[in-house]
């Protein structure tokens, strides 16, 4: 059919069915066909359709073709039947040396039956002939086995068949290799078969188990335990949403049944479950939950039965998990502490959630001796100290355990009151932290007493990071407190302060430098003017100052312009000569080089004068040198033939000659050779570089002067190719130089290595000493290539020979050569190796099983070295305008959000921290908190939401002083009960608490009034009180009283917008005055005593009466006793109607119809496809007050923008807004994403909310 005519034919691409048909015709009708030519045309693929009527002669021809082919063939069998004939199997066995890959195309059920037949026939053939047929089939059928959905089912089916045919002894190689892991679904019959099959294994294998309720099935499975390496469980049974605890109870019952079966069974079960993935590989949180629930279940069982199962499970809890996740809000501290006590090594812990209960925190502290590292919010330590110090039995020593897991790194923020500072100081006093502690202090407020208490027991710190607020308080410590700090860092709470503030801060820093021992001052986060730094430069003791790029640039220019020798020396000394951040002209740079007696650090990309720079190389150190700069420098040096400059260049570049990624020409190579002749022990980076072939040997001859060579694989092959020369001595010298330069690792993976390269590589390896890695994977290595290298491969700790063309012969020689070597790992998987018996039992070898898993896996991580889980970045707070509803004069607010996060209400100041999407409703209620030692310090909020949505709450407070804020607590009112929560933190504007059950929350304080509070002055005008007079109501209120509430109560009056913030003192008398004459106004009462009041109804402090024609005035509120001014504003008064009309016009003109069309388009884009369809239905059938839109027009509007334009064009500006509002309520889509875009237009036309 196909005859060879000596012409090379290109392969053709045919479908599988066509290919099958061609082979069937060729094999049946034309015995004289040139099958090798046909294979060549078909890219050496043979597709055969296996049917019931196929004859033996055809299969015999298949065997002949396979035996005679010039190249290995891919054999693909397309099954129409479920059984394999003996003649087909015989053909496969005869042609197996020339079969590259054997694949079977069919359903899984057919594959299982067909494969079983193939192996049974192979076993019979091996019995008759003595040839190792089963072992050969193992390698050939690897890809088919990999494709099976349930390999264990195949193995059990084969085992059942093999028992009936009495060929199990012949099939033993199969049992040793597959499956890589048993997946067992417990049933009496299947478990019995698994037990029989496992007994034939030489090595233990992992098992994945589905739990069962029947004791009989479990008893059979217990017999399998001696043959199990690790036991895992099916993940699906633990993650079932309906009853996840049922599976955990079934798991617990498994251990209980094992205990009833005997102590030996329980210990075996515990041993196979003792691995880091128990009960299954999953996210750490799920694993933690299961282990905790299991521990609780078995502990209850032990208590009821008196057995001691948990002791036997100690190895399990020593192995799993790799790290703990503790959610303090879940209240399972006793369980996790018990689990931690089982550990024999400390493990890392991630802390989530919060509990304000002292009992839970004490349990958590008892866990700390068993924890290596803690990953958490950086304020956990502060919160713990804050809560426990509020109790009577605060024990600083118990808290001090947390310092080591936190890596002795602490952060304190917010309003640091004296009680908290004393507690932190006491904890630090109970721990040996001298010189090791890294302390970050970012207070919004702290008193001198608080600062003194914090540093009372500290004498030395590794790092101290403070903001300007803390810095101001530290100046009072300097005179009485001695402190040594390695690195002092200043950061800013408020960016870009005025020069006056900078000068004060620099003055304080100068004072601290005189009295404290500070090694390094870090100002890289402060954008200073140069003149502010001058005072710090004159500090006498050794001090390094780090500045931001802009400040350093300014200061360098300032010093240069001054041309003062003393100032220049101080500048270079304090900055360490590091000018790498500066971009300086050559004359300025030359000035500093000449004046410096130390090496200056520069960044080469900011230096352009190469010729002038070379003469100063001994006085310059480069932070990093780019390949382009190094290439230019070498060229310039070679041009001058200045060998001494090579030495200077290497000193300034830290001995690194970086030419990475350069395409070197002959002149570059000449410069490189010149440089190498004047070098010794340098590091040469030629990674991703290219060198002309004729230059390779010349450079190779000079590599003996290189201590470390970084080179890419193509260039390394080029160097190896040039290693051998006519001179034996030169060959050895080149090989020795290359071997020394390459260091401890040799990686030629994914390159094609021929015998010539192998010869050169053998010379290089002969010169090498111990190597950490030789990677020759994917290199097309044959047995012959391997023979050249084998005498030297024992030098590698890890040898990777995977994915090559090594056969059983080469593998056997490799095993013999490395049998007594120090090589730890040899990778031989994905080669042509069929006899794997000696490798499976040798732990040093990694062999690839038919299932695709390695038989031996090295555990590269342990609990002690597990990576620390980093906390998530803090989310930004998003402000929102709530939906406001008024019913019976009571205001309620609503937030609906499609995502979790931190959301701050613009009306009340409340901040909700939400896990997921949800709807929150809240309002302000009357305080019903009496007969206690507490009094309100803010409104009482009634909050309702789905349980678990809100887990953190920020309540606004009015304190100005940190110590006063430290006295605040939060009360949680439920029915007739109340609970007082200690805040986890108090910041300048809010008190933060963790919440679980929602109802009423409010800030309280002990009945000791603070001296001052943040206040607000609110003005409401009654313009038409009489024909000739108007009245102004003046309210003095705490700032955390929502303006919305007051405006609703005073809605009959006109609110006068003005800046309202002020500071008010408790129990202080205030008076109101204005610039109007005495005969033009009157005030009642004459004085008002301020007290923070959080009643539901708010009452005015003053009434001011004045003539109707007054349109503006200057108003003042003063302390009555000392006439101290508290609040003074120019107040503009206008008629109510005029103001409303103007406001109305402004609103109408601020937003146009075009803006609404854009906003409506964005709203429509937020809707799903189903919601758009529902919207169109509503538009066809709107309420009576809205016009309908025809179905035809709606179908033509395909995009969101077209639909928006249609709605506005048909309904008009206002009506389209009304229609959108109505439809969004119907869908319903009242979340913040939609309402935030719709709300401005609803307000524009004053539509009902």
Residue 851 pLDDT exceeds 80 = no
pLDDT of residue 954: 95
DSSP-assigned states of every residue in 253-316: HHHHHHHHH-HHHHHHHHHHT-STT-S-S--HHHHHHHHHHHHHHHHHHHHHH---HHHHTHHH
pLDDT digits (tens, 9 = 90+) for 339-350: 888 888 888 888
Q: Express each pLDDT in 351-383 by its tens digit.
A: 887 776 777 788 888 888 888 888 887 778 888
Average pLDDT, stretch 290-308? 89
Q: Any bridge partners for residue 413, and if so which? A: 442
- How many angstroms separate the CA atoms of 741 and 681, rounded? 9
- Per-residue pLDDT of 1155-1211, as tens digits, reads 889 889 989 988 888 888 889 988 988 888 888 898 888 888 888 988 999 999 888
Residue 848: enclosing H or E segment and its boundaries?
Answer: none
Could you tell me the pLDDT band of residue 604, with boundaries at 50, 70 and 90? low
- Looking at residue 7, its pLDDT comes to 37
Alpha-carbon distance 122 to 139, whole Å? Answer: 13
pLDDT for 434 beyond 50: yes
Checking if the pLDDT of 703 tops 50, the result is: yes
- pLDDT grade, residue 469 (50/70/90)? very high
- Name the residue with higher pLDDT: 701 or 846: 701
Q: What is the mean pLDDT of residues 767-795?
A: 91
User: 713-717, 821-825, 847-851, 928-932: which range is least confident on average?
Assistant: 847-851
Average pLDDT of the chain to the nearest whole number: 84
**pLDDT recorded at residue 1008:** 66
User: What is the Cα–Cα distance from 548 to 550, expressed in whole angstroms?
Assistant: 6
Ranking 115-119, 329-333, 682-686 by mean pLDDT, the lowest is 329-333
Q: Which two tokens stand for residue 292?
A: 């905790």
What is the reported pLDDT for 873? Answer: 39
Torsion of CA 839, 842, 844, 849, to 10 degrees: 40
Q: How confident is the model at residue 829 (pLDDT cuts 50, 70, 90)?
A: confident
With 60 as the cut, is the pLDDT of residue 8 above it?
Answer: no
- 114-172: per-residue pLDDT in tens? 888 888 988 898 888 888 888 888 878 877 877 787 888 888 888 888 888 888 888 88
Spatial neighbors of 221 by CB under 8 A, at least 6 apart, are 184, 186, 191, 194, 195, 209
% of the chain at pLDDT higher than 90: 30
Tokens linked to 1175: 């919207």
Q: Is 765 exposed, middle or buried (0-12, 13-18, 19+ CB in 10 A)?
A: buried
Residue 968 confidence (pLDDT): 92
Checking if the pLDDT of 735 tops 60, the result is yes
719-729 mean pLDDT: 90
Contacts of 576 by beta carbon, 8 Å cutoff, 6+ apart: 544, 601
Asked whether residue 285 carries a pLDDT value surpassing 70, the answer given is yes
Phi/psi for 937 (5° steps) reads: -130, 20
pLDDT of residue 858: 33
pLDDT score at 243: 60
pLDDT above 90 (res 85):
no
The secondary structure of residue 959, as a DSSP letter, is B
Q: pLDDT value at position 246? A: 77
Phi–psi pair at 903, nearest 5 degrees: -130, 125
Contact 1088, 1034 (CB under 8 A): no
Which pLDDT band, with edges at 50, 70 and 90, does 861 fall under? very low
List the structure tokens of 976. Answer: 């007739």
Q: How far apart are CA 1223 and CA 1183, in angstroms?
A: 10
State how far the Cα of 167 lies from the Cα of 127, in Å rounded to an integer.
9
Closest CA to 825 of 839, 843, 807, 812: 843
Residue 452 binned pLDDT confidence (cut-offs 50, 70, 90)? very high
Asked if 825 and 844 count as a contact pair (C-beta separation under 8 A), the reply is yes
Contact 953, 1001 (CB under 8 A): yes
Residues in a beta bridge with 1003: 970
Residue 9, pLDDT above cutoff 50: no
Give the model's pLDDT for residue 850: 33
Helix axes 713-721, 755-767, angle to 10 degrees: 90
The residue that leads in pLDDT, 590 or 668, is: 668
- 8 A C-beta contact, residue 396 and residue 426: yes
Closest CA to 1005 of 963, 953, 943: 963
**Residue closest to 493 by CA, chosen among 414, 417, 438:** 414
Q: At what angle do helices 133-140 and 108-129 cross, to 10 degrees?
A: 150
> How far, in Å, CA of 854 to CA of 532, rounded?
65
pLDDT tens per residue across span 608-633: 455 556 666 666 766 667 788 888 88
Average pLDDT over residues 939-955: 86
Q: pLDDT tens digits, residue range 185-195?
A: 877 677 888 88
3-state secondary structure of 373: strand
Full-model pTM: 0.64
**C-alpha–C-alpha distance, residues 986 and 301, integer Å:** 44
Q: Is the pLDDT higher at 527 or at 1141?
A: 527
């Amino acid at each position: 059919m196909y005859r060879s005519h000596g012409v090379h034919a290109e392969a053709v691409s045919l479908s599988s069915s066509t290919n099958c048909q061609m082979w069937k015709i060729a094999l049946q009708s034309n015995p004289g066909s040139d099958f090798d030519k046909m294979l060549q045309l078909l890219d050496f693929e043979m597709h055969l359709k296996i049917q019931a009527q196929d004859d033996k002669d055809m299969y015999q021809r298949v065997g002949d073709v396979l035996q005679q082919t010039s190249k290995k063939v891919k054999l693909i069998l397309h099954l129409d039947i479920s059984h394999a004939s003996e003649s087909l199997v015989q053909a496969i066995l005869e042609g197996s040396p020339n079969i590259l890959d054997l694949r079977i195309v069919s359903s899984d059920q057919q594959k299982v039956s067909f494969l079983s037949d193939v192996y049974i026939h192979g076993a019979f053939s091996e019995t008759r002939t003595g040839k190792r047929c089963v072992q050969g089939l193992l390698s050939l059928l690897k890809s088919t086995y990999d494709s099976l959905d349930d390999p264990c089912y195949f193995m059990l089916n084969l085992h059942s068949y093999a028992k009936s045919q009495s060929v199990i002894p012949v099939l033993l190689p199969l049992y040793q290799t597959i499956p890589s892991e048993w997946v067992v679904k417990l049933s009496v019959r299947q478990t019995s078969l698994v037990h029989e099959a496992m007994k034939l294994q030489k090595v233990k294998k992992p098992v994945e188990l589905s739990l069962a309720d029947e004791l009989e099935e479990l008893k059979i499975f217990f017999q399998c335990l001696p043959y199990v390496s690790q036991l895992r469980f099916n993940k699906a049974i633990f993650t079932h949403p309906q009853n996840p605890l049922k599976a955990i109870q079934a798991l617990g019952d498994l251990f209980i049944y094992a205990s009833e079966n005997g102590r030996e069974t329980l210990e075996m079960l515990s041993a196979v479950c003792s691995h880091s993935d128990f009960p299954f590989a999953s996210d750490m949180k799920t694993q933690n939950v299961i282990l905790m629930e299991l521990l609780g279940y078995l502990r209850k069982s032990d208590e009821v039965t008196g057995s001691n199962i948990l002791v036997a499970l100690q190895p399990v809890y020593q192995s799993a998990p790799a790290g703990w996740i503790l959610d303090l809000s879940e209240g399972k501290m006793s369980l996790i502490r018990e689990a931690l006590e089982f550990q024999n090594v400390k493990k890392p812990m991630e802390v989530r959630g919060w509990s304000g209960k002292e009992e839970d925190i004490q349990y958590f502290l008892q866990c700390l001796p068993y924890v290596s590292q803690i990953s958490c919010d950086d304020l956990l330590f502060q919160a713990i100290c804050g809560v426990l110090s509020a109790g009577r039995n605060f024990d600083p020593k118990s808290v001090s355990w947390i310092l080591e897991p936190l890596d002795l790194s602490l952060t304190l923020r917010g309003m640091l009151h004296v009680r908290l500072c004393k507690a932190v100081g006491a904890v630090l006093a109970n721990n040996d932290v001298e010189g090791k502690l890294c302390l970050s202090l970012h207070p919004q407020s702290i008193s001198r007493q608080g600062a003194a208490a914090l540093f009372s027991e500290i004498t030395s710190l590794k790092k101290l990071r403070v903001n300007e607020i803390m810095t101001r308080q530290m100046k009072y410590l300097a005179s009485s407190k001695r402190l040594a700090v390695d690195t002092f860092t200043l950061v800013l709470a408020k960016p870009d302060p005025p020069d006056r503030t900078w000068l004060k801060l620099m003055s304080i820093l100068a004072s601290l430098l005189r009295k404290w021992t500070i090694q390094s001052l870090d100002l890289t986060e402060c954008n200073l003017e140069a003149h502010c730094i001058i005072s710090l430069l004159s500090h006498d003791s050794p001090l390094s100052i780090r500045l931001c790029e802009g400040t350093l640039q300014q200061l360098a220019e300032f010093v240069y312009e001054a041309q003062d020798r003393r100032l220049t020396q101080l500048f270079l000394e304090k900055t360490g000569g590091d000018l790498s951040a500066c971009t300086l002209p050559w004359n300025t740079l030359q000035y500093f080089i000449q004046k410096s007696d130390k090496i200056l650090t520069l960044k080469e990309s900011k230096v352009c004068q190469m010729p002038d720079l070379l003469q100063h190389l001994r006085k310059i150190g480069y932070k990093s040198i780019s390949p382009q700069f190094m290439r230019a420098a070498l060229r310039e040096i070679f041009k001058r033939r200045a060998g001494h400059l090579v030495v200077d260049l290497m000193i300034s570049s830290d001995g690194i000659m970086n030419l990475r990624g350069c395409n070197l020409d002959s002149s570059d190579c000449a410069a490189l050779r010149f440089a190498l002749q004047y070098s010794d022990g340098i590091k040469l980076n030629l990674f991703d570089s290219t060198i002309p072939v004729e230059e390779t040997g010349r450079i190779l001859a000079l590599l003996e002067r290189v201590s470390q060579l970084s080179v890419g694989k193509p260039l390394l092959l080029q160097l190896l190719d040039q290693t051998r020369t006519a001179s034996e001595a030169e060959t050895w010298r080149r090989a020795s130089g290359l071997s020394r330069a390459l260091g401890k690792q040799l990686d030629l993976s994914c390159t094609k290595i021929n015998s010539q390269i192998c010869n050169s590589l053998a010379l290089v390896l002969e010169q090498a000493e111990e190597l950490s890695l030789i990677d020759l994977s994917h290199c097309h290595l044959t047995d012959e290539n391997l023979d050249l290298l084998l005498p030297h491969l024992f030098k590698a700790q890890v040898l990777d020979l995977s994915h090559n063309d090594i056969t059983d012969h080469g593998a056997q020689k490799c095993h013999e050569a490395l049998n007594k070597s120090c090589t730890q790992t040899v990778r031989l998987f994905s080669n042509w190796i069929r006899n794997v018996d000696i490798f499976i039992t040798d732990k040093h070898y990694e062999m690839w099983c038919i299932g695709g898993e390695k038989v031996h896996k090295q555990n590269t991580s342990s609990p002690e070295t597990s990576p620390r889980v980093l906390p998530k970045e803090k989310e930004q707070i998003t402000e929102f305008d709530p939906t406001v509803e008024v019913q019976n004069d009571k205001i309620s607010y609503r937030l609906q959000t499609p995502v979790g996060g931190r959301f701050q209400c613009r009306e009340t100041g409340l901040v909700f921290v939400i896990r997921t999407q949800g709807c929150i409703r809240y309002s302000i209620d009357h305080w019903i908190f009496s007969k206690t030692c507490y009094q309100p310090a803010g409104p009482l909020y009634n909050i309702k939401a789905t349980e678990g949505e809100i887990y953190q709450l920020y309540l606004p407070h009015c304190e100005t002083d940190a110590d006063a804020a430290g006295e605040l607590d939060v009360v949680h009112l439920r029915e007739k009960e109340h609970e007082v929560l200690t805040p986890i933190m108090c910041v300048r504007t809010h008190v933060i608490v963790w919440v679980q059950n929602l109802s009423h929350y409010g800030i309280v304080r002990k009945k000791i009034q603070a001296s001052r509070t943040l206040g607000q002055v609110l003005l409401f005008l009654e313009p038409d009180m009489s024909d000739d007079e108007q009245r102004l109501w003046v309210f003095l209120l705490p700032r955390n009283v929502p303006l919305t509430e007051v405006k609703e109560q005073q809605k009959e009056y006109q609110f006068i917008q003005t800046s309202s913030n002020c500071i008010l003192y408790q129990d202080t008398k205030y008076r109101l005055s204005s610039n109007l004459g005495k005969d033009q106004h009157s005030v009642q009462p004459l004085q008002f005593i301020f007290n923070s009041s959080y009643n539901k109804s708010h009452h005015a402090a003053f009434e001011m009466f004045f003539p109707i024609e007054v349109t503006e005035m200057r108003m003042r509120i003063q302390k009555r006793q000392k006439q101290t001014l508290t609040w003074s504003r120019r107040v503009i008064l206008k008629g109510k109607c005029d103001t409303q009309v103007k406001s109305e016009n402004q609103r109408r003109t601020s937003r146009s119809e075009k803006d609404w069309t854009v906003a409506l388009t964005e709203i429509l884009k937020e809707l799903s496809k189903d919601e758009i369809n529902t919207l169109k239905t509503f538009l066809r059938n709107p309420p009576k007050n809205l016009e309908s839109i025809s179905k035809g027009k709606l179908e033509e509007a395909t995009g969101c923008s077209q639909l928006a334009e249609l709605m506005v064009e048909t309904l008009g500006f206002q009506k389209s807004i009304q229609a959108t509002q109505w439809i969004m309520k119907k869908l319903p889509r009242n979340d913040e994403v939609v309402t935030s875009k719709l709300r401005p237009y609803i307000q524009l036309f004053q539509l009902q909310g």
